[in-house]
Amino acid sequence: MSRPRRLTARLRLTLSYTLFTLTTGVLCLAVVYVGMRYVPNYPLMPANPRDRADAPSRQEILESLLTASGYALAVLTAVGMAGGWLVAGRVLRPLQEVTAAARRASGGDLGHRIALAGPRDEFTELADAFDEMLARLERSFEAQQRFAANASHELRTPLAINRTMLQVAAADPAHQDWPRLVSRLQDTNQRGIEVTEALLQLAELSHREPESAPLELSAAVREALAATAAEAGALGVGVRAELGPAPTLGNAVLLRQAAVNLVQNALRHNLPEGGRVEVRTGPDGGRPGWVRLVVRNSGPVLDGALVATLTEPFLRGGGRTAQRGPVRRGHGLGLAIVAAVAGAHGGELRLTGLPEGGLEVVLALPGPA
């Protein structure tokens, strides 16, 4: 909806300054004029009656005062208008920067920041609040993009499995174990439904917390190990698990998916031969009342700068990826999903490169209240 064109804020401020200056001048003139009206009008006579009387009368003084004051007010009005225009422009300059930033943001540039310098006042507070809003919007859009990528990644596997089983069954229908095929299809479809629901919950984490209940983290990890046992055997990676008690409060589907991602990440980014993975659950020694899941895998020595970025979406640890068959292929989203799950549960994800090579990932979660 278009708005009617009005005077700009700068012009309105200028007119306000000018009107205030003019009003003040008129009031001062009125006070002087009234005061002069009460001055006694004594006749001034020269000491020598023969001399001519040149002293002005009160009326003449008032008339001269009005004339001079009129010129003074005209000059004062012009000066006040010019000064008011300059002062208003200087005062409103920060708003112009905010307006420019808003226009850039409306064009899609959410990375721009005003970063207004100067003393702390209303304008710097407005600029800081606007910068904070831009930062939150930028994080929100990035989260939506990550969600779309994560959903594609997580749903691709069960859909591909279903397609493969159906293609095999269609190629040789006479030699199929149909009850077993239907059971496997149901299991894969159920896993896809659970993953979809979990991702939808992740999309809503910015608005509300996920549904949580008391659970045993070691049970979710045990399910994850069972789900990845076939992949570990195909890769020839030895898995050793020490699953101690680790009670926590969280979403069972999300935590199980996080455990699956961590184990798969450790399996796929391992040594070409003779790789190993260690999985442990138990109390977090660094924080009383917290529990943790620790996944360690063998591999080459990792650079610290690379480790710090492994939770970024689509980032693959190329230096530790042994490409030995399609089973090791990934999309670089596993650790990003785990980091999102950890944040949703009020926990944290810590990644550390091991001196002897490989990676240690710690998923720390608060215990039940």
First-to-last alpha carbon distance for the chain, in angstroms, is 52
Res 160: pLDDT? 81
- pLDDT tens sequence across 208-221: 677 888 999 999 99
Domain map (residue ranges) of the chain? 9-42+55-109, 210-369
Residues 6+ apart with CB under 8 A from 228: 260, 263, 264, 267
The pairing of beta strand 247-250 with beta strand 213-216 = antiparallel
Res 94: pLDDT? 75
Long-range contacts of 322-330 (CB under 8 A, 24+ apart): 322/269, 322/270, 322/271, 322/272, 324/235, 324/272, 327/231, 327/234, 327/235, 327/268, 328/235, 328/268, 328/269, 329/268, 330/264, 330/265, 330/268
Exposure of 319 in the CB half-sphere (CA atoms within 13 A): 13
d(CA 215, CA 117): 50
d(CA 178, CA 174): 10
10-residue averages of pLDDT along the chain (369 residues):
62 80 81 71 60 62 77 82 80 75 74 71 77 80 69 73 85 83 84 70 61 91 93 92 94 90 91 93 89 94 85 58 45 75 90 93 90
CA dihedral of residues 283, 286, 288, 289 (deg, nearest 10): -50
Res 203: pLDDT? 62
Res 321: pLDDT? 39
Res 320: pLDDT? 38
d(CA 165, CA 168): 5
In residues, how long is the chain?
A: 369
Structure tokens at 341: 């799950």
Res 319: pLDDT? 40
Res 366: pLDDT? 93
Res 353: pLDDT? 92
d(CA 290, CA 364): 7
The pairing of beta strand 213-216 with beta strand 238-243 = unpaired
Res 335: pLDDT? 84
Res 205: pLDDT? 55
Res 176: pLDDT? 80
Residue 276 φ then ψ, to 5° = -145, 155
Q: Which CATH number fits domain 210-369: 2.40.50.140, 3.30.565.10, 3.40.1190.20, 3.40.309.10?
A: 3.30.565.10
Res 150: pLDDT? 61
Res 7: pLDDT? 67
Res 324: pLDDT? 44
Structure tokens at 337: 């999903």
